[in-house]
Amino acid sequence: MNAQFSKRIAEHKLTLSNSEQYLLAYIEEHLDEMPEISIVKLSEQANVSTATIVRTMKKLGYEGFTSFKHHLKEEEEHNPRFAIMEQVDQKIREAIIKNEQEVTRTIQMLDSGTIEDAIQKIKASKKIIIFARGFSELIAKEMMIKFQLMGKSCELHDDPNIIRSISKKISPDDIVIFISLNGETPELVEAAKNCQHNKVSSITFTANAEGLLAQLSELAFVGYKSSISYFPDYEVRSRLPLQVMSRILLDSYAIRIK
C-alpha cells in the first residue's frame, strides 16, 4: 500500500461521499494495476463514472486521474512496474508481469519450516552433492561456489551417467540437492531413488510439486512457473523460480552459520 496515498485519503475522508470512498477503496485494493489502466477502464471496473473519478482525485489534491498516476509513480519510483510500464507496449508489459509473478508467487509459496530444516540438514552433513541438468546447471554452479566460499565441502555433477553412478555410492552422512524445473528428469529421478534406498537425505528445488523428484526427496522447495513461454519450440523455460529459492536458502544458510 502507498503510504502517501493513504495519508491523503485520511486527511480528506470527511469531505468524501460514499461513492468516492468506495472508489478509493477499490483503487487501494488494485493499486499495482493503476499504472496500466485508463480512466475509462477504471470507471468500468469500479462501476463509477469518470466524473466521480476526476472529482475524487481533485478532492485529494490531484489535477485529475493522470496527475494521480504521475504522482503515484514518483512516490513509488523504486517499483519497476511504475517506472517503465507506460514506456513499453502490451506484449512487453506481459513479459514484465510474467517475471514479477514468478518471483512474487514463488516467495509466497515458500515455507519457513522447510528453509530451517534444510539449513540444519546442510549444516549437519559432511558434504553436499548437487545434481542438475540443462539450464539448471547454472544455478547449481552458483550454489556450489557459494557453499564452498562458506567453508562447506560441495561438488556438482551434471553428466547423466556420472549422476547415476555416484548416486549409488553417496554416504548417509552427506546430503544431495536436486535442481530440476519439471522434477521428472530421468537420471535425476533414478538418483533420487538410489538416495532414498541408501537413506541419504535429499533436497529438491523444482516448480512441479507433483513431480517424482519432489515426492522422493525429504524436503522440496516448490516455486511458481508461469504457463507462458516465449520459446515454445524449445525446452528453455525460465529457471527464475529455482534461482529465487536457491538464493533465499543460500542467504539463510549464511545468516545461520554466522
Q: Which residue has the higher pLDDT, 154 or 76?
A: 154
Confidence of residue 227 (pLDDT cuts 50, 70, 90): confident
Q: Which three cell numbers stand for residue 162?
A: 556420472
Give residue 235's pLDDT: 58
Closest CA to 20 of 40, 41, 49, 63: 49
Instruction: Give 93-139 pLDDT, tens digit per residue.
Output: 778 788 888 999 999 999 999 999 999 999 999 999 999 999 999 99
Instruction: Give 23-69 pLDDT, tens digit per residue.
Output: 998 988 888 788 778 899 999 999 999 999 999 999 988 888 888 88
Cβ neighbourhood burial of 235 (10 Å; 0-12, 13-18, 19+): exposed
According to DSSP, residue 200 is labeled: -
Of 17-26, 189-198, 244-253, the one with minimum mean pLDDT is 17-26
Give residue 210's pLDDT: 94
Domains delineated in the chain: 3-88 (1.10.10.10), 107-257 (3.40.50.10490)
Can you tell me the distance from the alpha carbon of 147 to that of 129, in angstroms, rounded to the nearest whole number? 11
Instruction: Give 70-91 pLDDT, tens digit per residue.
Output: 877 766 655 555 555 555 667 7
3-class DSSP state for residue 244? helix
Beta strand pairing call for 154-157 and 175-179: unpaired
Confidence of residue 236 (pLDDT cuts 50, 70, 90): low
Give residue 78's pLDDT: 56
Give residue 192's pLDDT: 97
- The full length of the chain comes to 258
Q: Name the amino acid, one letter, at 228.
A: I
Give residue 96's pLDDT: 78
Give residue 186's pLDDT: 96
Give residue 80's pLDDT: 56
Give residue 195's pLDDT: 97
Give residue 12's pLDDT: 82
Main-chain phi, psi angles of 49, to 5 degrees = -80, 160
